[in-house]
Amino acid sequence: GAGVSQSPSNKVTEKGKDVELRCDPISGHTALYWYRQSLGQGLEFLIYFQGNSAPDKSGLPSDRFSAERTGGSVSTLTIQRTQQEDSAVYLCASSPRRTSGDTQYFGPGTRLTVL
């Protein structure tokens, strides 16, 4: 595909369950970013990958959050023991390189609702 894709588009889960969110970046993009967005608000940085390594995990809210990237391509964000405050839209973006000023191309997001 031409753009960043994310799945699922919507996820409703019960408090305490684990969830996995998937991101397929644009082919060839080495940098991949995860953000979280509350309703109508700005984006909160979570983690970024350069290739398969994650030099900056500073935005992960707690140790219930983890992410990995394999083959320099697909990334998975995992939230364990979900809480209601985890409800948000999780956005993934990719860019050709990891430099300031590079355009980040965003996927449509996964809307997570924790009941």
Residues near another protein (CB under 8 A): 4, 31, 33, 35, 40-45, 48, 55-56, 91, 93, 95, 97-109
Closest distance to another protein from the beta carbon of 88 (Å): 13
Closest distance to another protein from the beta carbon of 57 (Å): 11
- Are 83 and 114 in contact by the 8 Å Cβ rule? The answer is yes
Closest distance to another protein from the beta carbon of 47 (Å): 9
Nearer to another protein, 43 or 74 (CB): 43
Q: Where are the beta strands (DSSP E) in 1-115?
A: 5-7, 10-13, 19-24, 31-37, 43-50, 53-56, 65-69, 75-79, 88-95, 105-106, 110-114
